[in-house]
């Protein structure tokens, strides 16, 4: 069960680990690890040869190329779109999305 407090921006760690793929250049793994979220940071410029298994895929469109987008959609993957370079905002947006699932 995913839990969060009622205060905006204050989240509790997930009971079970959640694995996500993040196509972007910011290192967000350290901040999300404290919430039991494991991040595979992948190149936003080149499609991966093998896509790691993950519960969710996030793409930062400020950095990602069309070839990465096309690769994901060709595999019927609709990534969650992020549009900021601010690590704190990225972390909060990812946690908000994961808590809404």
Q: Is 41 exposed, middle or buried (0-12, 13-18, 19+ CB in 10 A)?
A: middle
Q: Answer yes or no: is 66 within a domain.
A: yes
The pLDDT assigned to 6 comes to 36
In this model, does residue 3 exceed pLDDT 70? no
For residue 89, what is the domain's CATH number? 3.40.50
Per-chain mean pLDDT for the chain: 90
User: Which uninterrupted H or E stretch holds 80?
Assistant: strand 80-82
pLDDT of residue 9: 58
Tens-digit pLDDT profile for residues 45-57:
999 999 999 999 9
Give the residue among 66, 21, 65 at the shortest CA–CA distance from 39: 21
Q: Which domain holds residue 78?
A: 18-100
Q: How many domains does the chain have?
A: 1
pLDDT at 4: 42
With CA atoms as reference, report the closest residue to 60 among 77, 40, 82, 43.
82
72 domain residue, yes or no: yes
Mean pLDDT of all residues in 64-69: 94
Please compute the mean of the pLDDT values over residues 65-84 and round it to a whole number: 95
- Report pTM: 0.86
Measuring CA to CA, which residue among 13, 14, 12 is closest to residue 1? 14
């Amino acid at each position: 069960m995913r839990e969060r407090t009622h205060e905006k921006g204050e989240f509790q760690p997930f009971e079970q680990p959640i694995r996500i793929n993040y196509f972007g250049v910011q290192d967000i793994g350290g901040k999300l690890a404290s919430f039991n979220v494991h991040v595979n940071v992948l190149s936003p410029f080149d499609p991966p040869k093998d896509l790691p298994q993950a519960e969710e895929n996030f793409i930062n469109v400020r950095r990602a190329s069309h070839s990465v987008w096309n690769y994901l959609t060709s595999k019927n993957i609709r990534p969650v779109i992020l549009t900021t370079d601010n690590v704190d905002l990225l972390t909060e947006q990812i946690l908000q999305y994961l808590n809404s699932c």
